[in-house]
Amino acid sequence: MYRNRNRQGITFVEVILAFLILGVIFLPIFFFLTGAVKDTEKFYTETTAISRAKFIMDSMMFQIPWWAIKDGNPCGFTSYNSVSKKTVTGVSSLLRRAVPKMFGDGCTTGNPEEFKGDGLFVCRKGFQYRARAKVVDLDYDSTSANPVVFSIPIPGTPDRHEFQINQLVSKRDDKFNLIKKIIVQVKWSNSKNKDPDSDPQARSIFLVGFKSDLEG
């Protein structure tokens, strides 16, 4: 019987070799894709942090009354107006709703009318974020060496109308104050279910604003 010696199939060795070559090609691709997924999560956490910092800063700059924000690190929030010596109902309900949404767990104090600008929240994917706001009163006494001055030139003369803060406002909470410096920090861990406080690789973003007393 005649045998065709010129067979055209694929040998087992050739198949193994092909798989080996494919493996060599696809291994870096696999690593790249895994890295890309991790990067996507990294950008997701960063976006969530930015969005939360914006929410906090918007609320503090434009929603919460100037007098209701107390200086400190973390800052405080109160619905008790020290000038009228009353708890303001509208501000009280605003703070009760807004502050826990801004900072998450841990922002409450023993007093239901007072909150602190500090807390921990967890996103839907399980990443943990810590948010904190620091407020510094730029009041006359603490900045008296170089205070913010309010001045306007007098036309036709080299002189200016110049006023110090203590000439323009009466003391409130023992301070002559018109401007507060607000710094918001959101810190997060890129590892799921890990408190950023215990993660040396934790990342942070900041926002800075100056809130003026437009209500007095």
Which of 114, 183, 190, 191 touches another protein (CB under 8 A)?
183
The rounded distance, in Å, linking the Cα atoms of 153 and 160 is 4
- Among 209, 175, 165, 176, CA closest to 64: 209
Phi-psi region of 137 (alpha: psi -120 to 50; beta: other; left: phi over 0): beta
Residue 166 contacts residue 140 (beta carbons within 8 Å): yes
Of the pair 20, 36, the CB lying nearest another protein is at 36
> What is the Cα–Cα distance from 182 to 211, expressed in whole angstroms?
7
Using CB under 8 A, which of the segments 5-13, 55-63, 83-91, 120-128 binds another protein?
55-63
Q: Which residue, 91 or 211, has its beta carbon nearer to another protein?
A: 211
| Residues with Cβ within 8 Å of residue 7, at least 6 apart in sequence | none
Q: Is 120 among the residues that bind another protein (CB under 8 A)?
A: no
Q: With CB under 8 A as the contact rule, which of the stretches 8-16, 49-57, 82-90, 93-101 interacts with another protein?
A: 49-57
Q: Which residues bind another protein (CB under 8 A)?
A: 25, 29, 32-33, 36, 39-40, 43, 46-47, 50, 54, 57, 61-62, 73-74, 130, 132, 134, 136, 138, 143, 145-156, 161, 163, 168-169, 178-179, 181, 183, 185, 187, 197, 204-214
